[in-house]
Amino acid sequence: MTDNEEKRERFLRASQRRVNSVLERIRVLGKCANIQYYSYDEAQVRKMFRAIDDELRRVKGLFTKKSESEFQWTEK
């Protein structure tokens, strides 16, 4: 097995375990929506999901190859 194959296998094992962990924690968070046990307002919910969305966007960016941007004259 080559080094790249070993890295790929390690990525697949680790990412599967970590994604499943994140999904489980999201399901647990969903239990906070039960109004029989919790009280919250829309501003709190927006703030909570804004934080989650911001972090998800940041982590997605880690997986995106960033290319150098170049200046170009645009024609009208």
Residue range 48-69, pLDDT digits in tens: 999 999 999 999 999 987 666 6
Domain contains 7: yes
Q: Does residue 30 form part of some domain?
A: yes
Does residue 70 have a pLDDT over 90?
Answer: no
14's tokens = 């680790």
C-alpha–C-alpha distance, residues 72 and 30, integer Å:
47
Does residue 66 lie in a domain region?
no
pLDDT at 16: 97
pTM of the shown model: 0.76
Q: Compute the half-sphere exposure of residue 16: CA atoms within 13 Å on the CB side of its CA.
A: 5
Domain count, the chain: 1
Distance between CA atoms of 76 and 61, rounded to whole angstroms? 32
Tell me, what's the pLDDT at 76? 59
Does residue 53 sit within a domain? no
Its domain, for residue 11, covers 1-42
Please answer whether residues 32 and 40 qualify as being in contact, where contact means their C-beta atoms are separated by less than 8 angstroms.
yes
Residue keyed to tokens 């080559």:
2
Give the pLDDT confidence score for residue 30 in this predicted structure.
98
Q: For residue 32, is it within any domain?
A: yes
